[in-house]
Amino acid sequence: MIQILIAEDQTILRNALESLLNLEKDIHVAGAVSSGASVCSFPGLGELDLLLMDIEMPDGTGLETAKYMKQHGFRGKIALLTTFSRPGYIEQAMKLGVDGYLLKDDPIDQLIVSIRRIVAGEHVISPALSNMLFRLQPNPLNDREQEMLRRVRNGESTETIASAMHLSLGTVRNYLSSAMQKLETTNRHDALRIAEEKGWI
């Protein structure tokens, strides 16, 4: 029996997945939670064959949670389930070594087949994303530039960023300018938009 933990913050989808997967004779949903933190604290982690996680979750995204689980010795398989086909997300997932990258738009029968293949030891990516693998662009932003854009997204001013990160105003402006140059934009808000669309922050 394949033991699965579902992590999905949308209640209707989480409940639907749980019900549909439990109809399969060889699959048992051991739990269904709504956040990354709930995955990490789930009491039966050692008994699981597969974590099926949404990428966009509160209290720890699917990517963050996958990284945490890998670092803490989780022995089961990990598959990310998402509506997002952003290249940056796929790149991060591949670097983390997840076992599956699946789309919520895939038919349920295809999802079930993918689950069985993943548990059997295969690496599975949704067919709709296969072509994107050949067009992956590496994230051009370094850690500091990513952090700057995240703070811009939070509405922080240059002065606030400088104070929070213990940097000079000039250093903050330089990082933002560098990010804009790499993303070929003339302002920080366009840089933020592009970085978000690509899944780079």
At 155-189, the pLDDT tens digits run 999 999 999 999 999 999 999 999 999 998 989 99
* Local structure of 83: helix, strand or coil: coil
Give the residue from 100, 97, 103, 106 showing the smallest Cα distance to 122.
100
Neighbours of 52 (CB within 10 A): 26
Summarize the confidence of residues 9-34 as an average pLDDT.
96
How far from each other are the two terminal CA atoms of the chain, in whole angstroms? 38
* Local structure of 5: helix, strand or coil: strand
Summarize the confidence of residues 62-83 as an average pLDDT.
92
| Residue 3 falls in which region: left (phi positive, over 0), alpha (psi -120 to 50) or beta | beta
- Beta-carbon contacts of 43 under 8 Å, excluding residues fewer than 6 positions away, are none
Q: Chain-centre distance of CA 36, in angstroms?
A: 10
* Predicted local confidence at residue 87, as pLDDT: 67
* Predicted local confidence at residue 109, as pLDDT: 93
* Predicted local confidence at residue 35, as pLDDT: 96
Q: What token pair was written down for 25?
A: 């004779």
Which residue in this structure is represented by tokens 């934009």?
185
Give the residue from 198, 115, 32 showing the smallest Cα distance to 101.
115
Summarize the confidence of residues 134-148 as an average pLDDT.
82
Please give the Cα distance from 9 to 39 (Å, whole number): 12
- Beta-carbon contacts of 143 under 8 Å, excluding residues fewer than 6 positions away, are none
How big is the CA angle at 171 (ends 167 and 176), to the nearest 5 degrees? 115
Q: What backbone phi and psi angles, to 5 degrees, belong to 125?
A: -125, 140
* Predicted local confidence at residue 84, as pLDDT: 67
Q: What is the DSSP string of 125-183?
A: E-GGGHHHHTT-------HHHHHHHHHHHTT--HHHHHHHHT--HHHHHHHHHHHHHHT
